[in-house]
Amino acid sequence: MEKATIRDVDLAGRHVLMRADFNVPLDAEGGITDDMRIRAALPTIRYILRAGASLVLMSHLGRPKGPNPKDSLRPVAARLSELLGQPVPLAPDAVGPAVTTLVAALQPGQVLLLENLRFHPEEEANEPAFAAELAKLGDIYVNDAFGTAHRAHASTEGVAHDLPAYAGFLMEKELNFLGGALEHPQRPLVAITGGAKVSDKIAVLERLITLADAILIGGGMANTFFKAAGIAVGDSLVEDGKLDEARRIQELALTRGVRFILPTDVVIADRFAADAQSRVMPLGAVPVGWRILDIGPATVALFAEALGDAQTIVFNGTLGVAEFPAFAEGTDAVIKLLTERAQAGATVIIGGGDSAAAVEAAGAADKVTHVSTGGGASLEFLEGKTLPGVAALRDRTEAH
């Protein structure tokens, strides 16, 4: 069901309460190391302000257990002020009399950022009373935080019971791209799935097998498929309890006529370390004491062939230990293939989390069609789950 957006409501003179995802990485001094999530919210913020509304922003940061200065949203307020070119004061709390006073004083075109929502345990508990306190700060609720939409928290789901709830532009974009890729893809549709564990991706793989024309497998999860097929993997990470599941997944793909492509060569290391000794080995030749940490060049060539005519590509999870430069080469090579397919007109969607971070690190975020801001949210969306933060929004047919 298509969701109503801020285009569907008159915002002039209203107080808008907006959930954003400003959970940005910070360095030891509290400086923001990557402001992508802040920048991603700017189109919605600017639209609301230009429409003549005042804006109350709310977000979480980190995983605090109660108020903690190191998890304050102060750096976010400072960065937002720079990006918007206007002051974005930080409220002393997310709720309470002082916050209510600040919100009441807001004029059209002004912004206030609430302090970290998760300083209150009621946020994650989705307590109705806390959600109602938040709802008093606005006339209209906007959710632009796709990255938290898989959580039924007070600010993502609870508030929508007390205020008319609309999607922001980032939320709309995420739903359009991820939903479009799965529901009405241009074919062939090729899915690339990596990451450490098969157990994290079973539901995704089951869904993709019903949708994709080909599935390419990499990362640590490939090792479980190897071992399930009787292929030696040395001391590589393997989920021994998921060998039967791996066989079932492959059989399911075979039954449905979906190409299920595993690596044919691998990069191995003598230990799990950035400076480990490494070498390229054909599949099945991994000696004891060594472990698989990346896909090899022959596999990259195999993946290139599979991607050659793809019109829709979904990439979720890295194909090696991408945090170690020596074992990020396979992932980087495939990202280069994805940018080439995007240049050729294919729709290339990066499914958030580690894969999004790898694309950002490779400087390719602006060379693909869409990079999701949601890790867990995009994964659950790909699995076909209902996201509470999305379900709580008004449908387009209810917009007026």
Residues forming the active site: 37, 197, 353, 376
Q: 63 and 132 share a domain? A: yes
Best CA proximity match to 294, nearest among 260, 269, 275, 261: 269
pLDDT on residue 399: 54
Best CA proximity match to 74, nearest among 117, 109, 115, 25: 115
pLDDT on residue 391: 92
- At residue 276, what is the residue type? A
- For the segment 244-260, the average pLDDT, to the nearest whole number, is 97
Q: Is residue 245 part of a domain?
A: yes
pLDDT band at 1 (very low <50, low <70, confident <90, very high): low
Helix (H) or strand (E) holding 17: strand 15-19
Q: Is residue 77 part of a domain?
A: yes
Q: 31 and 76 share a domain? A: yes
Q: 158 and 218 share a domain? A: no
Classify residue 160 by burial, with Cβ atoms within 10 Å: 0-12, 13-18, 19+.
buried
Domain of 244 in residue numbering reads as 177-383
- For the segment 22-35, the average pLDDT, to the nearest whole number, is 91
What whole-number percentage of the chain has pLDDT above 90?
Answer: 83
What is d(CA 354, CA 332) in angstroms, rounded to the nearest whole number?
13
141 beta partners? 17, 165
- For the segment 7-35, the average pLDDT, to the nearest whole number, is 94
Q: 138 and 199 share a domain? A: no
- Tens of pLDDT along 162-189? 999 999 999 999 998 888 777 889 999 9
Q: Between 183 and 254, whose confidence is greater? A: 254
- Tens of pLDDT along 347-390? 999 986 788 889 988 999 999 999 988 878 887 888 888 899 99
Q: 228 and 377 share a domain? A: yes
- For the segment 96-114, the average pLDDT, to the nearest whole number, is 98
Query: pTM score, two decimals?
Result: 0.88
Q: Is residue 214 part of a domain?
A: yes
pLDDT on residue 278: 96
pLDDT on residue 182: 79
Q: 18 and 120 share a domain? A: yes
Q: 143 and 197 share a domain? A: no
Best CA proximity match to 150, nearest among 392, 390, 395, 393: 390
Tell me the average pLDDT of the chain: 94
Q: Is residue 131 part of a domain?
A: yes
Give the pairing of strands 214-217 and 140-143.
Answer: unpaired
Q: Which of 12-26, 65-79, 167-181 has the lowest mean pLDDT?
A: 167-181
- At residue 135, what is the residue type? A
pLDDT on residue 332: 96
With contact defined as beta carbons under 8 Å apart, do 226 and 283 qualify? yes
Any idea what the CATH number is for the domain that residue 151 is in?
3.40.50.1260
With contact defined as beta carbons under 8 Å apart, do 310 and 189 qualify? yes
Q: 344 and 264 share a domain? A: yes
- For the segment 296-311, the average pLDDT, to the nearest whole number, is 97
- For the segment 194-203, the average pLDDT, to the nearest whole number, is 90
Q: For residue 164, say if its preceding peptide bond is cis, omega within 30 degrees of 0.
A: no
Q: Is residue 391 part of a domain?
A: no
Best CA proximity match to 210, nearest among 394, 60, 384, 333: 384
Q: Is residue 400 part of a domain?
A: no
Name 186's Cβ contacts closer than 8 Å, sequence gap at least 6. Answer: 311, 312, 346, 347
Q: Is residue 398 part of a domain?
A: no
- At residue 230, what is the residue type? G
Structural domain total, the chain: 2
Q: 146 and 261 share a domain? A: no
pLDDT on residue 43: 97
What is d(CA 160, CA 58) in angstroms, rounded to the nearest whole number?
14
- For the segment 204-209, the average pLDDT, to the nearest whole number, is 93
Domain stops at, among 170, 196, 221: 170
- For the segment 240-247, the average pLDDT, to the nearest whole number, is 96
Q: 221 and 370 share a domain? A: yes
Q: 57 and 149 share a domain? A: yes
Token reading at 370: 């869409």
Domain stops at, among 170, 187, 210: 170
Best CA proximity match to 333, nearest among 368, 299, 283, 372: 299
DSSP annotation of 114: -
Domain stops at, among 170, 199, 230: 170
pLDDT on residue 34: 86
pLDDT on residue 180: 77
Q: 32 and 157 share a domain? A: yes
Helix (H) or strand (E) holding 338: helix 329-343
- Tens of pLDDT along 328-350? 999 999 999 999 999 999 999 99
What is d(CA 250, CA 168) in angstroms, rounded to the nearest whole number?
39
Q: Is residue 399 part of a domain?
A: no
